[in-house]
């Protein structure tokens, strides 16, 4: 990445943090950009950049000191949402479909559920990530409104011909496990052979493609149990639902009412002896807190999103 690109990226991140009301984070990104400019003599309009960024930093500090709580905003601008997709996906994935999936999950983590659902529904057209997209659509409905809405969504899929039998069974098993975990006595309609009317040779070809394309090698984690080593909850084991998952990255949404819990999570801290709950087993492993983000807009405003990267299982 060129110096110009680095500076541009830092300023974009600073603007996004500012739009979220994350003044400390925004200020730090502006400072990082300013530092790069200060140590570089050969940059066009250098003095203007220095003056502008210094002014922005001063203004943000002033706002942060004066405002206790900013006004709420139901949704971010389209530009801010686009930046979230670009800057807050879990990795710079060369596969554009996977990058789009991670971008959609990032939108959901920032409380932008409507936009996330729009993006995820588009990705259902891609067979190789259809299951992952469907699972995260279910997670979005649960995070936005309720598990019942997720059931309604599954019933719609059951009545159309988008999913193959194998794919629909995978999604049904995933949602059934969530229902059981939440002690809900809801029975989903059994997946049926939707593609049976097609040519048998075509069916065989679809099955072969699914064997190599579906991402079922990734184990679904529906909940985790964490024993805190320090902080207000030291020594306690607390169970958390997993709200979103992309590969080995798990995201938890913690209510603003549970401040003692959020205080126990610090970026970079390793969590040992985590209990992982999956549809097929319960096992132990460890993870690292990759990110901690306070949601500033949308229905989850004030809640905190904790990203945990699984390091061993």
Residue 151: predicted pLDDT: 94
- In this prediction, residue 94 has a pLDDT band, given cuts at 50, 70 and 90, of low
Q: Which residue has the higher pLDDT, 109 or 137?
A: 137
Residue 113 lies in a domain: yes
Pair (83, 159) in one structural domain:
yes
10 Å Cβ neighbour count for 199?
9
Closest CA to 82 of 104, 114, 111, 97: 104
Mention every residue, 6+ apart, whose C-beta is less than 8 A from residue 213.
Answer: 127, 128
User: Which DSSP state fits 129?
Assistant: G
pLDDT number for residue 89: 53
28 with 142, same domain?
A: no
Q: Are residues 188 and 295 in the same domain?
A: no
Residue 211 has pLDDT above 70, yes or no: no
Regarding whether 167 and 54 lie in a shared domain, the answer is no
| 286 in the same domain as 230 | yes
Residue from 309, 305, 310 nearest 107 by CA: 305
Confidence of residue 256 (pLDDT cuts 50, 70, 90): confident
Residue ranges making up the domain that contains 57: 3-66
Q: Does 113 lie in the same domain as 163?
A: yes
Taking the C-alpha atoms of residue 188 and residue 179, their distance in angstroms, rounded to an integer, is 10
In a domain, 34, yes or no: yes
What is the average pLDDT value for the chain, to the nearest integer? 79
Looking at the structure, tell me whether residues 90 and 191 fall in a common domain. yes
Contact between 250 and 90 under an 8 Å Cβ cutoff? The reply is no
Task: Using alpha carbons, list the distances in angstroms from residue 93 to 75, 90, 185.
Answer: 27, 8, 39
- CATH number for 99: 1.25.40
Instruction: Label residue 9 by pLDDT band (50, 70, 90).
Output: confident
**Residue 207: pLDDT band with limits 50, 70, 90:** very low
Query: Both 97 and 190 in a single domain?
Result: yes
In a domain, 73, yes or no: no
Q: How many domains does the chain have?
A: 3
Q: Which residues are CB-neighbours of 231 under 8 A, at least 6 positions away? A: 260, 263, 264
Q: Across residues 263-281, what is the average pLDDT? A: 85
Give me the pLDDT at residue 302, please: 84
Cα 239 to Cα 154, 245, 274, 275, 277, distances in angstroms: 26, 16, 10, 9, 10
Same domain, 98 and 199: yes
pLDDT tens by residue, 131-188: 999 999 999 998 887 889 999 999 999 988 899 999 999 999 999 988 888 888 888 9
Asked if residue 128 belongs to a domain, the reply is yes
Whether residue 171 is contained in a domain is answered as: yes
Cα 86 to Cα 52, 99, 112, distances in angstroms: 25, 9, 14
Question: Any idea what the CATH number is for the domain that residue 40 is in?
Answer: 1.20.58
Element at 257 (helix H, strand E):
none
User: Does residue 71 fall inside a structural domain?
Assistant: no
Same domain, residue pair 203 and 184 = yes
pLDDT on residue 66 = 59
């Amino acid at each position: 990445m060129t110096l110009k690109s680095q500076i541009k990226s830092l300023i974009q991140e600073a603007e996004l943090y500012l739009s979220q009301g994350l003044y400390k984070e925004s200020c730090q990104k502006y400072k990082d950009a300013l530092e790069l400019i200060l140590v570089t003599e050969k940059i066009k309009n250098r003095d203007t950049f220095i003056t502008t960024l210094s002014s922005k930093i001063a203004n943000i500090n002033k706002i942060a000191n004066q405002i206790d709580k900013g006004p709420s905003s139901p949704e971010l601008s389209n530009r801010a949402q686009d930046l979230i997709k670009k800057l807050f996906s879990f990795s710079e994935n060369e596969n554009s479909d996977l990058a789009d999936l991670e971008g959609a999950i990032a939108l959901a983590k920032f409380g932008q559920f409507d936009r996330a659902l729009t993006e995820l529904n588009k990705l259902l057209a891609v067979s190789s990530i259809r299951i992952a997209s469907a699972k995260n659509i279910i997670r979005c409905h649960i995070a936005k409104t309720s598990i019942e809405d997720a059931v309604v969504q599954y019933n719609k899929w059951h009545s159309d011909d988008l999913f193959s039998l194998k794919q629909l069974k995978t999604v049904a098993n995933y949602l059934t496990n969530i229902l059981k975990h939440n002690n809900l006595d809801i029975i989903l309609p059994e997946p049926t052979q939707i593609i049976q009317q097609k040519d048998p040779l075509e069916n065989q070809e679809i099955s072969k493609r699914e064997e190599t394309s579906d991402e079922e090698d990734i184990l679904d984690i529906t909940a985790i149990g964490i024993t805190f080593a320090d902080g207000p909850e030291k020594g306690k084991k607390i169970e958390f639902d997993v709200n979103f998952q992309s590969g080995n990255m798990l995201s938890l949404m913690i209510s603003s009412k549970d401040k003692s819990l959020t205080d126990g999570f610090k970026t970079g801290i390793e969590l040992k002896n985590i209990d992982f709950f999956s549809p097929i087993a319960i096992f132990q492993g460890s993870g690292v807190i990759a990110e901690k983000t306070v949601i500033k807009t949308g229905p989850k405003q004030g809640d905190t999103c904790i990203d945990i990267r699984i390091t061993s299982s």
